[in-house]
Structure 1
C-alpha cells in the first residue's frame, strides 16, 4: 500500500498558488484494509475515505470505463492491481494528472509540468470524450489560469459538441461550472472557449450571438460593453449575482435588437441555466429598472454596477421593487 498526493494540489503547488485541499490516491490496497487502518468510508460511487487524523480524502486507485453517455455512465474498477499511472490517465488534463510521492518526488507521466510552464490546457487521452463536463472544466480553467487550449484538445471539444456528447450535460452541473467561471480571474475566456467549440450556442445562445463563426470576439460596442462589464466586476470583486446581472443585461435575442431583455426574459434565462434565486432576482431587478434611470441603457458597466450596489440591489432586491 502506498499513497500519493494528486491532482489540483500538485498543480497549484507548482504554480506557486495556495493549496486548499489535498487529495490522495492509494495504490495496492482494498476497502477492507482502509477501514481496518481507521479510514472512514465516504464514497458512494467509488471507494473514497477520510484520513482518521487529517480528514483529507484518500481514494483507491481506479480505472473507469464508459458505458453510456453522460458523466454518470461509467463502470468503476478499483483493486490492488490498479497502478498510479492507470489512475492518472483517466484524468481530464495533463496539468491535473501529476502526483507527489512522500519524499516530494514528482511523478509526471503526461508532461503536465511542461504544459504548466507553457500555459497550455491539454487533454490526457482520447478518454476525454467520455465525460462532457470536461468541456466546461477546460473553459473554466482557461478563465482561471489564463491558459491557451491546445489545438488538438479544442478539436476534440468541437467533435464532442458536434457528435451530441454534450447533449447529456445536466443543467445543474452546467451552472456549477458556469458560476465558478464567472468568479474566475478572466471570465470572458470561459465564454471564448465555449463559443470556439460550439457549446455556448447550445447553453446560452443569446451570448453566442456576439461571437463570430470561429468563436472570436469582434471589436464592437456590444462586445466592449459585455466584456468590459465582466472585467470591471472582477476588479471590483463583485459577487456572483452582480456579475450574472451585468452579463444578462447585455443579452439579446437578435444581434441587431436595440431593446434590452425584460424581467420575463431574464427569468427565462435564469431558469434555463438553473441560476439560483439570488442571481435570478438580481437580473430581473436590473431589467425591471433599466429604463427608469436616465441613460442607464447607454451607461458604462461601472455606472450600472454602482447603481445596483448603491441600491443594495444584490443583498435586498425588494428595496427597489
Structure 2
C-alpha cells in the first residue's frame, strides 16, 4: 500500500502559498484492508476513509466514467490495479494533478509541473468537458491565483465555451453554483471569476442579470469606463480592496442590475435604476439560494446606494430617513457594510480608484449625533409609544440641523 498527498496542497506548497488541508490517495489497497488498518469509511459514491489518528482523508485510487448528465453523472472504479497516474489523469487541471510523498518529494508522473511554473490553467484532457462544475472551478482558480499571474490556456477557454453552449451548466445545482461563487467572492480578485465566466459564455447561462449589463452605456462624465458591466467589475475590484467580506462583495455585484432594464431611449442616463434593480437582484438571489443575510444586504445596497451618494446634499429630515432606511440605529454594522459598498461603487470608475467618499463620513457623524438623543425625558413625562417616537424623531432632526448647519 502506497500513500501520496495530492491536489491543492501540493500545488499551493510549490507556489509558496499557505498549504493547509492534505488529501491522500492510496495505491494498491482495497476497502477491507483499509478497515483492518483502522481507517473509518466516509465515502458514499467511492471509497474514502478517515485516518484513525490524524482524521485526514484517504481515498483509494480510482478511475471514472461518464454515465449520465451533469456533475454527478459518473461511475467510479477503484481497485489495487489503479495506478497513481490513472488517478491523477482524471483530475481537472494540470496544476492539480501533482503528488508528493509524505516526506515532501514531488511526484509528477504525467509531466505537468511546467504548467505550474508557467502559471497556466490548462485542462488535462477531453474528459474535462464531461463535468460542468469544472467551468466554475477553473474560473474560481483564476480568481484565487490571479495575484500570481495565472492565465487561462486558449484550448481550455475554447472547451469551456463549448461546455457553456452545450446546456450542461443548467444541470448544476444552485448550491454548487453558490458554493463556487462564494469561494470566488472570498478570493483576492473576485472580478476575475466573472471575467472568465463571461469569456467562456458561462456568465450568460448562470448570471444572466450580470451579463445583461455589458454593452449598456452610462454618462461618460460620471463613468469614463462607460460600460455598465465594466463598471460593476471595477467596483467589485475596488470592494475587494476595502473588505474581504463576501457578502459586501456580492452586494457590489448586484448593485447596478437595474441599469440593464433602463429603456434604450433613456440611455445613457439611468434614473430610477436602484428601484428597478431590486427585482433582478432578488431573482438572482432566489435562483442561487443565496443565504438570507447575504441577500438582505444585496437588496439594501441595490435599493439605497443612489440615496447614499446624495447624502452631502440631504436636508436633516431626509438624512435621518436614510439612516432609518439603512437600519443604522439598530444595526450600525449593517450601515458600515452599506457604506463600504457605496465607497467601492464610487471608486469603481476609471480615474476614481482612490477617490475620497465624504458621504460615508457624513452618515457616520449623523448617526453618532442622532444616537445621543435619548427618549428618557418623554418616557418620564408619561408619553405613549407613538408620541415618544414622534418626539424622538423631531429631536433627532433638530440635532442634525444644528450639527450640519453650524458646520456649513
TM-score range, shorter chain: 0.7 to 0.9
Q: Is the 8 A contact 2:50 2:56 kept in 1?
A: yes
Q: Is the 8 A contact 1:181 1:190 kept in 2?
A: yes
Q: Is the 8 A contact 1:24 1:59 kept in 2?
A: yes
Partner of 2:334: none
Partner of 1:39: 39
Which one of the candidate residues 282, 290, 293 is aligned to 1:278? 293
Which one of the candidate residues 207, 212, 233 is aligned to 1:209? 212
1:303 Cα shift? 4.4
Which one of the candidate residues 236, 255, 260 is aligned to 1:253? 260
1:75 Cα shift? 0.7
Cα separation, partners in 2 of 1:306 and 1:111, compared to 1, 3 Å: farther
1:103 Cα shift? 4.3
With 193-202 and 286-295 compared, the bigger mean Cα shift is at 286-295
Partner of 2:404: none
TM-score (norm 2): 0.70
Q: How many pairs are equivalent?
A: 306
- 1:235-286 Cα distance to aligned partner (Å, 9 max, x none): 2224111111111012233475612344333222211222110111001112
1:220 Cα shift? 2.7
- 1:47-70 Cα distance to aligned partner (Å, 9 max, x none): 111111111110000011010011
Larger Rg: 2
Partner of 2:126: 126
Partner of 1:104: 104
Give the Cα separation in 1 of the matches to 2:48 and 2:358.
Answer: 46
Alignment partner of 1:179: what SS?
A: helix
Give the Cα separation in 2 of the matches to 1:30 and 1:65.
Answer: 19
Partner of 2:201: 198
Partner of 1:227: 233
Question: How does 1:38-57 map onto structure 2 within 5 Å?
Answer: 38-57=38-57
1:206 Cα shift? 2.3
Q: Is the 8 A contact 2:185 2:249 kept in 1?
A: yes
Give the Cα separation in 1 of the matches to 2:300 and 2:134.
Answer: 33
1:293 Cα shift? 3.3
Partner of 1:318: none
Please tell me whether residue 266 in structure 1 is matched to residue 281 in structure 2.
Answer: yes
Give the Cα separation in 2 of the matches to 1:148 and 1:278.
Answer: 34
1:12 Cα shift? 0.4
Partner of 1:316: none
Q: Is the 8 A contact 2:256 2:302 kept in 1?
A: no
Which one of the candidate residues 154, 170, 173 is aligned to 1:170? 173
Give the Cα separation in 1 of the matches to 2:346 and 2:201.
Answer: 29
Cα separation, partners in 2 of 1:239 and 1:49, compared to 1, 3 Å: same
Alignment partner of 1:116: what SS?
A: helix
Q: Is the 8 A contact 1:99 1:107 kept in 2?
A: yes
Cα separation, partners in 2 of 1:153 and 1:280, compared to 1, 3 Å: same
Structure with bigger helix share is: 2
- 1:291-318 Cα distance to aligned partner (Å, 9 max, x none): 44353799615749958x9699xxxxxx
CA RMSD of aligned residues (A): 2.6
With 173-182 and 288-297 compared, the bigger mean Cα shift is at 288-297
Q: Is the 8 A contact 1:6 1:98 kept in 2?
A: yes
- 1:185-227 Cα distance to aligned partner (Å, 9 max, x none): 1111111110111110011122213447xxxxx9435345322
